[in-house]
Amino acid sequence: MNDIMPFLLSYYNAEIVEKICRKYGLTPMDALRKFLSSQTYQMLTDKELEMWDFSPNGIFDMWENEQITGDPRNSLYLRRDEYV
């Protein structure tokens, strides 16, 4: 997994930054800065959590929930309650 991790992170970074820019009108650099400093990104880079199983939409939802509620774990992708 060590060889694949930089490729995966690059992929997720590009996808999430594009979604942040599109939805919130931020510049790519500002969007990247916000994403890289988030708890969601820390979770994504934790190899034990194996977050690469989530789609970019799921990671974006986690990031957005973190921005709104302060905790990415409030995302429906993680809660897996009856609405998912």
pLDDT greater than 60 at residue 58: yes
pLDDT at 78: 80
User: Does 80 have pLDDT greater than 80?
Assistant: no
Mean pLDDT of 7-12: 93
CB 54, CB 77: distance < 8 Å:
yes
pLDDT tier at 1, thresholds 50, 70, 90: very low
C-alpha–C-alpha distance, residues 72 and 60, integer Å: 10
